[in-house]
Copies of this chain bind each other. A is one copy, B any other.
């Protein structure tokens, strides 16, 4: 059989306060098309459908609509697990009804052992779980997540139908994989990395959790990566889905074209505000800029935002050290010295004698007022 593997939709997530609803809908619509073009027999969603355990009404409506389109409209079997961002309980609502149309949502560890058979494949849907849940399930002391997974895989193996291929769908951190900024240490959530060898009994492992498709090095263990670029660190990483063919044992990458991309640009303030730079992208493009100017640029963020309305981040190439030295220097200056420096930076000229006298006089008056 052929199935489409996606994960980490994070519906409801915002990018630096920008809503991503439009972007998520567009990415979903591309996934739906890929599923149709590739004529897959099922769609796997390996956790983190939602960005938070208490999703907004908007997020709830979006996810419900997406699942409806795949399962009830396109008649595709769905194999879904909860990730660490989902509320297992909330995601499970209605799952008894969903089953009737081959839409399986597994949110409890115990459900991982109820395999689902579709065509030549036996699927095992292992939701995200905490170590304590594994200890409770096996009613034994289990040292770490690797040991838990060894126990889980062994139990699954007992249920293997030798006539079938075996596919694991799971949501955790496989050893040797890369991380990006939007999976913060909090999100990795106490899950130690599990060695890839634990999963060699499976024909294929479809994972969620890490946002990068290249996060796992093993050929038959794949992260699909996230639906969108969810952090600046993911700006250069391509997003998409895997088409897994269990018969030919091949995987095929289908990239998604972002509706609004994240672009990294670097240059001086003058370069970045030249048409050549800002006209290279649309106004809706999310940007992270790096300024290479030697000297401070007054109010750079808000001035650059006029050229890059969806500016997410502004960095300075200069060493933090030299900047903090500069800050130190500023602290030691008199008000008149500060004003003179500011004048020079903004006008590009030194104060004249007359201007300096005038400034001195004003500052003196201000000081007297403050003393009162």
Contacts and interface: CB of A to CB of B under 8 A. Distances in A.
Interface in A60-111: 60-61, 64, 68, 71-72, 87, 89-90, 92-94, 96-98, 100-101, 103
A160 to B, nearest CB: 30
Interface residues of A, number: 20
Contacts of A96: 64, 68, 72
Contacts of A93: 60, 64, 93-94
A4 B90 CA distance: 28
Contact of A101 (B57, B90, B100): B100
A54 interface: yes
B54 A90 contact: no
A54 B60 CA distance: 12
A72 B101 CA distance: 14
| Residue picked from A72, A87, A89, A100, most chain B C-beta under 10 Å | A89
A93 B56 CA distance: 13
Nearest to A93: B64
Contacts of A90: 57, 60
Contacts of A71: 97
Interface string A37-73: 0000000000000000010010011001000100110
Nearest to A103: B97
Contacts of A103: 97
Nearest to A100: B100
A75 to B, nearest CB: 13
A105 to B, nearest CB: 10
Contact of A89 (B61, B72, B98, B101): B61
Contacts of A97: 71-72, 94, 97-98, 100-101, 103
Contacts of A72: 96-97
Contacts of A54: 54
Contacts of A64: 92-94, 96
Contacts of A61: 89, 92
Nearest to A61: B89
A229 to B, nearest CB: 28
A85 to B, nearest CB: 15
Contacts of A92: 61, 64
A57 B89 contact: yes
Nearest to A54: B54
The 3 closest A-B pairs by CB, nearest first: A94-B94, A57-B89, A97-B97
12 contacts: A57-B89, A57-B90, A60-B90, A61-B89, A68-B96, A72-B97, A93-B94, A97-B97, A97-B98, A97-B101, A97-B103, A100-B101
Given A60-B93, A61-B89, 7 more contacts: A57-B87, A60-B89, A61-B92, A64-B92, A68-B96, A72-B97, A97-B98
